[in-house]
Amino acid sequence: LISSIVLSFHPGSSPVVYFLFRFGQTLCPVCMGDPQDPLCLPCKHIFCVACIKQWLNPGQMYCPLCMQPVDDDFPMFPSNDIRLVIVSVKISF
């Protein structure tokens, strides 16, 4: 029910939003806490902006979970849509 409500407010929501609702994965794999300022890499893994910035270095940019390369110019901005979903998932459990 919550997923349909959020998706109705955000009809263009990304597959990451769907994944979060389906599987409820809300922890940052680096710090194992709730993602603060969540950032989604191109591989769809979600991290705290601060955690992933510590991990990624120019010339050595890859996801710590799946090792998929990340472009050096990848924008490091948090996602408000993902933040909203994480809060909704926590409320539904």
21-64 pLDDT tens trace = 555 556 888 998 888 888 889 988 889 999 999 999 888 899 99
Share of the chain above pLDDT 90, in %: 18
Question: Where along the chain do its domains lie?
Answer: 1-92
Give the tens place of pLDDT for each residue, 28-38.
Answer: 889 988 888 88
- Amino acid letter, residue 26: T
The architecture that CATH gives domain 1-92 is: 2-Layer Sandwich (3.30)
Token representation of residue 59: 């010339």
pLDDT value for 52: 93
CA distance 29 to 92: 21
List helix spans (H) across the chain: 2-9, 15-23, 49-55, 80-92
Q: What mean pLDDT value characterizes the chain?
A: 74
